[in-house]
Amino acid sequence: MIKKVQKHLKKRKVKVFLIFLVLSSLAWLIKTLSGEVISRATFNLEFVNKPDSLLLIDVSKKTVDVKLEAVGFQFLSFGIKTKTVFIDLNNVEKNSNKFYIPQSIYKKQIEKQLSNTITIKDIDRDTLFFNFTELIRKKVAVLHDLELEYAKNHVLEGEIKVMPDSIIITGPSNEIGNISSVNTTKIKLVDLKESFSKSVKVIRPKKMKNASFSNAEVKVSGVVSRFSEKLFAIPVEVINLSLDVKIEIFPDIVGVLCKANIGVLKDIKESDFQVVVDCNGMLNTNTLPIEIKKTPNHIYSATTKEKEVTYILTRQ
């Protein structure tokens, strides 16, 4: 019984000792961290407010070593947080072809980003040097890449529109100096029966790694209309015939197949067309090609059913 009591008392003394040891250690740690402490830290540098006319290619260093004085608790937070500070490139200076920020300038920038209870006792003496390349701006055309298949008796009215039809590219001259146009991604539209408007992306050429586009995409649109056909009988006119020669052509009236919007087609007359054969084109054959010299406005197409005439010449 006595041994059990002695064993219990021994365990109790050990527990009391451990508690006092922990408490005294905490008291020492709190006292230490409550005082001023000098320690070293490394800050990652992140560069902001780059000049619009310049592209940052490289920098002489991306970290900076500092000696800091602060309350000990402050350093505990530094061990947890990412130590990143921002360097404002609006303060960059230029000497000849070199861009730089002196240590005195970027030290002040770093100090402003630290707590008032933290003091920089020492910092790298190195000047920050920057490798910039000059940017140029260039206006280039945007070319669409559409593949269109129309429904029966439907056709594109006018041209495909691209909005905007040009964009501004900003980048180094070695990347964009020879560029005059850019393309959109390819789109295929089938069985078109009505007008369309689509947003399409602008393709960035692979070599443009540092260039920026004013527009990442554009709109392409087109007016699709239903058309009808009408066959017109048009007299063939002979031009450039010598005065001392008489000519007879066969046929002297040809069919012209006209495709147009129904509203336009109903107002078209035979006199709106001019079909000719040109005697200047005479070769060692007895045929002449037929040409359409004049067509009405706002039609989609006009083609002759016959492609040539035969002729007989007689001297007057």
Instruction: Write the pLDDT tens digit of every residue in 34-61.
Output: 446 677 888 899 999 988 888 888 899 9
Residue with tokens 């990143």: 84
The neighbouring-strand residues paired with 159 are none
Coil, helix or strand at residue 285:
coil
Residue 131 tokens, joined: 């490798």
User: Which CATH number fits the domain 134-226, given the four candidates 1.10.150.80, 2.170.120.40, 1.10.10.10, 3.30.980.10?
Assistant: 2.170.120.40
Coil, helix or strand at residue 22:
helix
The neighbouring-strand residues paired with 189 are 148
Work out whether strand 274-278 and strand 228-239 pair parallel, antiparallel, or are unpaired: parallel
Contacts of 53 (CB under 8 A, 6+ apart): 134, 135
Q: Residue 1's pLDDT is what?
A: 55
Residue 158 tokens, joined: 């006018």
Residues of the chain with pLDDT under 70: 1-37, 71-82
Q: Residue 164's pLDDT is what?
A: 96
Strands, E assignment, 31-180: 36-48, 54-59, 63-71, 84-88, 93-95, 98-101, 119-123, 128-143, 146-150, 154-163, 166-172
Q: Residue 42's pLDDT is what?
A: 87
Fold adopted by 228-315: RNA Polymerase Alpha Subunit; Chain A, domain 2 (2.170.120)
CA distance 69 to 122: 9
Q: Residue 82's pLDDT is what?
A: 56
